[in-house]
Amino acid sequence: MTTTRETIRAWLREGVEMGATHVIVAHDSFDGSDHPAFVMLGETVYGEMSKCADAYCRIMEVYALHVDIEEQLREVRAYHPEAPPKVPPFGRNLLALLGYQLEREST
């Protein structure tokens, strides 16, 4: 199963809204699916990566939510475990900072 860039983009938006610093994309070789793992403030990327990686799961990509998201999505395999700034902006403020336009739900 191939995960699309749109699916990853949605996971990144979810991570930003949750206040995560990074999103790890892991592949489950048992069922062939990809899934996100969110790294929250106070957690380390490498600590979360070690939780994800086992005999049936491997790390495919690591996205840093304080780095330009579109630039990372253009990479063949994004790998950005670098730490965020000391006081990272979160939520919609971060999306605005990165030039992200949230789709507004029509009511």
C-alpha span between 79 and 72 (Å, rounded): 8
pLDDT bucket at 103, cuts 50 / 70 / 90: very low
Average pLDDT in the 30-56 region?
89
Residue 37 has pLDDT above 50, yes or no: yes
For the stretch 55-75, pLDDT in tens is: 788 999 999 999 999 999 999
pTM: 0.76
Average pLDDT score, the chain: 83
Residue 30 has pLDDT above 70, yes or no: yes
Which runs of E-coded beta strand occur in the chain? 20-28, 33-40, 57-64
Task: Note the pLDDT of residue 94.
Answer: 58
Residue 86 has pLDDT above 80, yes or no: no
Average pLDDT in the 76-104 region?
65
Per domain, the residue ranges of the chain are: 5-96
What radius of gyration, in Å, describes the C-alpha atoms of the chain? 14
C-alpha span between 100 and 27 (Å, rounded): 26
Residue 49 has pLDDT above 50, yes or no: yes
